[in-house]
Homo-oligomer: A and B are copies of this chain.
Amino acid sequence: MNRIIKGKQSLLFENAPYIVSAASVTGSKEAAGPLGKLFDMTNEDDLFGAQTWEEAESTMQKEACVLALGKAHVKADEIRYLFGGDLLRQGIATSMGVEALQIPMFGLYGACSTSGEALALAGMSAAAGYGKYMLAVTSSHFGSAEKEFRFPLGYANQRPLSAHWTVTGSGAFLVRAAEPAATSASDAPAVNVLAEEPEESPTAAPNEDDISTTHISHVRIAGVTVGKIVDYGLKDSQNMGACMAPAAMDTIVQNFEDFGRSEQDYDRIITGDLGYVGQSILFDLVRDKGYDIRKKHLDCGMTIYDQETQDTHAGGSGCGCAAVTLASFIIPKIEKGEWKRVLFVPTGALMSTVSFNEGASVPGIAHGIVLEHWPQAE
- Residues on A close to B: CB < 8 A? 1-5, 7-9, 11, 51-52, 54-55, 80-81, 85, 87-92, 95-96, 98-99, 102-111, 117, 120-121, 124-125, 127-131, 147-148, 180, 194-197, 199-201, 226-229, 231, 350-355, 358, 360, 363, 365
Contact = CB atoms under 8 A, between A and B. Distances in A.
Given A99-B363, A130-B11, A1 B89 contact: no
Contact of A229 (B3, B9, B52, B105): B105
A108 B9 CA distance: 18
Contacts of A54: 354-355, 358
A208 to B, nearest CB: 14
Contacts of A229: 95, 98-99, 102, 105
Contacts of A98: 229
Contacts of A11: 130
Given A2-B197, A108-B108, A363-B99, A128 B117 contact: no
A5 B52 contact: no
A29 to B, nearest CB: 23
A103 B228 contact: yes
A89 B333 CA distance: 36
Contacts of A2: 129, 194-197
Given A91-B350, A95-B229, A102-B228, 12 more contacts: A2-B129, A5-B129, A51-B358, A54-B354, A89-B353, A90-B111, A92-B351, A96-B355, A96-B363, A109-B109, A124-B130, A127-B128
